[in-house]
Amino acid sequence: MARLAAGYSRIGVAATLHSTIMPTTELIRRKAVMVGNEISIRSTVIENVGNLLAENKGDLYDEMVGEQLRLLLEENEVVVLAQASMARAVEKWPEEEKSRCLTSPVSGVEAVRDYLRKKEG
């Protein structure tokens, strides 16, 4: 996910926990330096949504997270979702919009697939 994000110049990072913003942005910055890309990162913590999934309020979680992600997408080429649980908020979006949100479940599976293809070939 960070490797993919590092290929863009304007990157948004979204999280629902403050503790994940810094490690995620630093990882993206390191990957960008490795490929020689100059980047700008705008990050946001989506407040007051952490308990919604535990309270069985998934629709409200998706709405609140999705709203903030769309705001970040207005200013950035891609948005990195710092927690895998956030991916559910974009599942029903149109593909064009959804594809601009980088999630660890999707990029992780793609990385494993690519690794296995290289290993077989």
pLDDT of residue 45: 96
pLDDT tens for each residue of the chain, 121 residues long: 899 999 999 999 999 999 999 999 999 999 999 999 999 999 999 999 989 999 999 999 999 999 999 999 999 999 999 999 999 999 999 999 999 999 875 545 454 445 456 777 6
The radius of gyration of the chain's CA atoms, rounded to the nearest angstrom, is: 15
**Rounded CA separation 55/2 (Å):** 31
Task: Please provide residue 98's backbone torsions phi and psi, each rounded to the nearest 5 degrees.
Answer: -60, -35
pTM: 0.84
Evaluate whether 44 touches 18 at the Cβ level (below 8 Å). Answer: no
Angle at the Cα of 94 from the Cα atoms of 6 and 90, rounded to 5 degrees: 65
